[in-house]
Amino acid sequence: MQTTFIMIKPDGVQRGLVANIIGRFETKGLRLVGLRQLTPSMELAETHYAVHKERPFYGGLIEFITSGPVVAMAWTGVDAISVARNIIGPTDGRVAAPGTIRGDLAMDIGHNVIHGSDGEDTAKFELGLWFPDGLVDWARDAERHIYE
């Protein structure tokens, strides 16, 4: 099992897409083990996106991500990182395939509704940052019907 970090960005929250997005991950078979809604502080946003600090879009990204509430989530499952990234789709919603979150719900590269960890190291960092008190350890009885 693997755990990944997913964040519904302010545009997704403001557009009322939270239930739709959560449903896609649950329907696929991932298990929600962390959930919190908050408006990120400047410090949290800057730490999360530090890898982009030298990029020209960094200032706008920080302003956007701190502009309103986000929904931070942790999802667990077999190959959860790659499964989640396939559900999300590529960064630019204009070229994302229909059926993906961004393909169905995003029209812009900057306001693209959702963020997902891109690898195990990133997931570990992001989960520790957004869920400093840890995650909920529970088992879903239905998992025996999801995985071999």
Rounded distance between C-alpha atoms, residue 53 and residue 62, angstroms: 10
- Collapsing DSSP states into helix, strand and coil, what is residue 139? coil
The mean pLDDT value of the chain amounts to 96
CA atoms of 103 and 128, how far apart (whole Å): 29
Query: Rounded distance, CA 26 to CA 69, Å?
Result: 22
By the 8 A CB rule, do 33 and 75 touch?
yes
CA atoms within 13 A on the CB side of 106: 30
Active site (annotated) includes residue 115:
yes
- The answer to whether the CB of 37 falls within 8 A of the CB of 70 is yes
Span 15-19, average pLDDT: 98
Kindly tell me if the per-residue pLDDT of 148 is higher than 80.
no
Q: Domains of the chain (ranges plus CATH)? A: 2-135 (3.30.70.141)
Average pLDDT over residues 113-136: 98
Does residue 126 surpass a pLDDT of 80?
Answer: yes
pLDDT digit string (tens) for 104-124? 999 888 899 999 999 999 999
> Which of 11, 140, 135, 10 is CA-nearest to residue 73?
135
**Active-site residue (options: 48, 52, 111, 115):** 115
Look up the pTM and report it.
0.94
In which order are the strands placed within the sheet that holds 114-116? 31-38, 70-77, 2-8, 114-116
pLDDT band at 66 (very low <50, low <70, confident <90, very high): very high
